[in-house]
Chains A and B, each alone.
Chain A
Amino acid sequence: MEKPKKKQVLLFHCVEAEELALKVAAQSDLIQLQSINWRSFDDGFPNLFINNAQDIRGHHVAFLASFSSPAVIFEQLSVIYALPRLFTASFTLVLPFFPTGSFERMEEEGDVATAFTLARMLSSVPISRGGPTSLVVYDIHALQERFYFGDTLLPLFETGIPLLKQRLHQLPESDKIVVAFPDDGAWKRFHKLLDHFPMVVCTKVREGDKRIVRLKEGDCAGCHVVIVDDLVQSGGTLIECQKVLAAHGAAKVSAYVTHAVFPKRSWERFLHKNDGVHLLLDNGFVPTYCESHRQQSSF
Chain B
Amino acid sequence: MSAVSPSPSILLTSTKPSNETHKTIIIPFIKKPTIPTIQCEFRSFENNSSSYQNLIADSSNRIHIIFKPPSSSPLTTASSMDLSIKHSKRVCLFYCSEMKDLAERIASASDSIELRGITWRTFEDGFPNLFISNAHGIRGQRVAFLASFSSPGVIFEQLSIIYALPKLFVSSFTLVLPFFPTGTFERMEEEGDVATAFTLARILSNIPISRGGPTSLVIFDIHALQVCLKSSFVTVLSCVFIFVFVFVILIFAKYYRFNGFVLQERFYFGDNILPCFESGIPLLLNRLQKLPDSDNIAIAFPDDGAWKRFHKQLQHFPTIVCIKVREGDQRIVRLKEGDPKGRHVVIVDDLVQSGGTLLECQKVLANHGATKISAYVTHGIFPNSTWERFKHDAGGNPENGMTYFWITDSCPRTVKQVENKSPFEILSLAAPIAAALQV
Interface residues of A (CB under 8 A from B): 41-54, 68-71, 73-75, 77-79, 81-82, 86, 99-100, 103, 108-114, 116-117, 120-121, 123-124, 233-234, 261, 263-264
Q: Are A70 and B157 in contact (CB under 8 A)?
A: yes
- Cα A43 to Cα B163 in complex, Å, equals 25
Q: Are A82 and B383 in contact (CB under 8 A)?
A: no
Q: Are B181 and A45 in contact (CB under 8 A)?
A: yes
Q: Are A110 and B131 in contact (CB under 8 A)?
A: yes
Task: Determine whether B185 belongs to the interface, using a CB cutoff of 8 Å to chain A.
Answer: yes
Q: Are A117 and B152 in contact (CB under 8 A)?
A: no
Q: Given A114-B128, A114-B130, A117-B163: A42 and B384 within 8 A (CB)?
A: yes
- Cα A246 to Cα B202 in complex, Å, equals 52
Q: Are A78 and B194 in contact (CB under 8 A)?
A: yes
Identify which of B124, B156, B185, B191 contacts A41 (C-beta below 8 A): B185
- Cα A49 to Cα B195 in complex, Å, equals 9
- CB-defined contacts of B157 to chain A, threshold 8 Å: 70, 114
- CB-defined contacts of B132 to chain A, threshold 8 Å: 110-112
- CB-defined contacts of A74 to chain B, threshold 8 Å: 152, 155-156, 196, 199
Task: Determine whether B381 belongs to the interface, using a CB cutoff of 8 Å to chain A.
Answer: yes
Q: Which of A52, A70, A121, A263 has the most CB of B within 10 A?
A: A70
Q: Are B353 and A78 in contact (CB under 8 A)?
A: no
Q: Are B124 and A111 in contact (CB under 8 A)?
A: no
Task: Determine whether B267 belongs to the interface, using a CB cutoff of 8 Å to chain A.
Answer: no
Q: Are A53 and B185 in contact (CB under 8 A)?
A: no
9 closest A-B pairs by CB: A71-B153, A53-B192, A110-B135, A74-B152, A70-B156, A263-B124, A112-B130, A42-B383, A48-B194
Chain A's closest residue to B386 (CB) is A42
Q: Are B192 and A49 in contact (CB under 8 A)?
A: yes
- CB-defined contacts of A263 to chain B, threshold 8 Å: 123-126
- Cα A90 to Cα B386 in complex, Å, equals 44
- Cα A32 to Cα B381 in complex, Å, equals 40
| B197-238 contact mask (Cβ, 8 Å, vs A): 1 or 0 | 011001101100000000000000000000000000000000
Q: Are A70 and B127 in contact (CB under 8 A)?
A: yes
Task: Determine whether B290 belongs to the interface, using a CB cutoff of 8 Å to chain A.
Answer: no
- Cα A77 to Cα B131 in complex, Å, equals 25
Task: Determine whether B168 belongs to the interface, using a CB cutoff of 8 Å to chain A.
Answer: yes
Q: Are A120 and B129 in contact (CB under 8 A)?
A: no
Q: Are B152 and A109 in contact (CB under 8 A)?
A: no
23 of the cross-chain contacts (CB-CB < 8 Å) are: A49-B192, A53-B190, A53-B191, A54-B192, A69-B153, A70-B128, A70-B157, A71-B153, A74-B196, A81-B198, A82-B199, A103-B129, A110-B131, A112-B130, A112-B132, A114-B128, A114-B157, A116-B163, A117-B163, A121-B203, A121-B206, A123-B206, A263-B125
- CB-defined contacts of A234 to chain B, threshold 8 Å: 124
Q: Are B181 and A112 in contact (CB under 8 A)?
A: no
Identify which of B168, B181, B190, B202 contacts A109 (C-beta below 8 A): B168
Task: Determine whether B134 belongs to the interface, using a CB cutoff of 8 Å to chain A.
Answer: yes
Q: Are A117 and B206 in contact (CB under 8 A)?
A: no
- Cα A103 to Cα B181 in complex, Å, equals 31
Identify which of B123, B160, B354 contacts A103 (C-beta below 8 A): B123
- CB-defined contacts of B182 to chain A, threshold 8 Å: 45
Q: Are A261 and B125 in contact (CB under 8 A)?
A: yes
| B140-173 contact mask (Cβ, 8 Å, vs A): 1 or 0 | 0000000000111111110111011000100000
- Cα A123 to Cα B163 in complex, Å, equals 13
| Minimum distance in angstroms from A54 CB to a CB of chain B | 6
| B51-87 contact mask (Cβ, 8 Å, vs A): 1 or 0 | 0000000000000000000000000000000000000
Task: Determine whether B193 belongs to the interface, using a CB cutoff of 8 Å to chain A.
Answer: yes
- Cα A111 to Cα B135 in complex, Å, equals 9
- CB-defined contacts of B128 to chain A, threshold 8 Å: 70, 112, 114
Task: Determine whether B136 belongs to the interface, using a CB cutoff of 8 Å to chain A.
Answer: yes
- Cα A49 to Cα B381 in complex, Å, equals 23
Q: Are B192 and A51 in contact (CB under 8 A)?
A: yes
- Cα A45 to Cα B194 in complex, Å, equals 12
Q: Are B185 and A117 in contact (CB under 8 A)?
A: no
Q: Are B124 and A45 in contact (CB under 8 A)?
A: no
Task: Determine whether B357 belongs to the interface, using a CB cutoff of 8 Å to chain A.
Answer: no
> Given contacts A50-B192, A82-B198, could you give 6 more A-B pairs where the C-beta distance is less than 8 Å?
A71-B151, A77-B203, A110-B132, A112-B131, A114-B156, A261-B125
Identify which of B153, B194, B384 contacts A82 (C-beta below 8 A): B194
| B352-363 contact mask (Cβ, 8 Å, vs A): 1 or 0 | 011000000000
- Cα A124 to Cα B163 in complex, Å, equals 13
- Cα A1 to Cα B257 in complex, Å, equals 69
Q: Given A71-B152, A110-B131: A124 and B202 within 8 A (CB)?
A: yes
Task: Determine whether B7 belongs to the interface, using a CB cutoff of 8 Å to chain A.
Answer: no
- Cα A45 to Cα B186 in complex, Å, equals 11
Chain A's closest residue to B130 (CB) is A112
